[in-house]
Amino acid sequence: MIKLSLLGDSFDNFLTTIDYIIQIILSFLSGLEGIITGIFNLFNIFVSFLYYIYLFLAVVVEFLINPSCLLLILLGSSFYYAAFLAETRKDMLIKFGVFWKYVGETSAKILMSAYTIVTKFITGIIDMI
């Protein structure tokens, strides 16, 4: 399709060139908008990730500062464990004892592992000095 204007062919070429330049500028701005939006989305993901790490560390610190929270969770878990697996009252007491036996054995293993890690870490620091 041929465009004919009253101002001539050179004016049509000039308008077409300006149209192409404007389209290039608009495409560039659209791409720039996409890049900026992507950066903000990455920033949002990063902030959410930091928030989840903060919540995890808050729970860990809460257990370290207030061990009664951990004991209450263990106590509640032991009641649920005993209640779901037992069929009689006597069996419930036995399951309750089995749960706490397991907690005691596991706690001893965890404390021994923590002691080993801490002593090796301190020994490594002393050996570096």
**Domain residue extents for the chain:** 7-65, 67-129
Please tell me the total number of residues recorded for the chain in this structure: 129
Task: Check: CB of residue 58 under 8 Å from CB of residue 45.
Answer: no
Q: What is the pLDDT of residue 35?
A: 92
What is the tens place of the pLDDT at every residue in 11-56? 778 888 888 999 999 999 888 998 999 999 999 999 999 999 999 8
What is the tens place of the pLDDT at every residue in 58-71? 887 887 788 888 88
3-class secondary structure per residue, 22-67: HHHHHHHHHHHHHHHHHHHHHHHHHHHHHHHHHHHHHHHHHHHHCH
Task: Provide the token pair at 2.
Answer: 């041929």
**Residue bearing the bigger pLDDT, 2 or 103:** 103
Q: What is the pLDDT of residue 51?
A: 93
This prediction has a pTM of: 0.46
